[in-house]
A = this chain, B = another copy of it.
Amino acid sequence: MRMQKQTETTELINTKRNFKWDEPTVKSIIRDMGLKVTQQRMIILKCLLSGRDHITAQELFEAVIKKDPSLGFATVYRFLKQLTEQDLVTEVRMGGLPARYEWAKKKKHHDHLTCKQCGAICEFENQQIELLQKQIAKNFGYILTGHILELYGLCPSCQKEEGLLPIGDT
């Protein structure tokens, strides 16, 4: 979660939460999905909306059981899947690691640059790359329906503290 200057075509993504997630708003998100408004869904959604970006199902579950220890993790997975299917959250999968989720609504498409050392994630979008991808698909006669672009590297602070820290968060 560190940002710096950018080329004209690469833009940073607003990671801010500039909408109010009050009770009625959260309720109507669930209702608009065509689902019943349950206490567990309210809790899960609130935790998702107010928690960190790129959260894992496990992390979300841990946040959720602080509010209701009886809530099951299958419910978290189930609801996350529904949110993903309805494109309200984006599922980010890197390698064999657990999937990470982020609220997609009101946040445009973007890709990720992740620090291998500490896990810090930068979000970006580069129009030139997006365009080149379309051209490549076209050259092969394909209709492009999606893509995954994940960059991996060493973040500035991990470059200094060369080598020996635990894999942490954001």
Contacts and interface: CB of A to CB of B under 8 A. Distances in A.
**What number of copies of this chain does the assembly contain?**
2
A80 B48 CA distance: 38
A147 B112 CA distance: 10
B148 A153 contact: no
Interface stretch (A19-27, A34-42, A67-75, A91-99): A91-99
Interface string A1-34: 0111111001000000000000000000000000
B95 A113 contact: no
Contact of A159 (B99, B126, B143, B149): B143
A122 B138 CA distance: 12
Interface of A: 2-7, 10, 93-96, 99, 113, 115-116, 122, 124, 126, 128-129, 132-133, 135-137, 139-156, 159
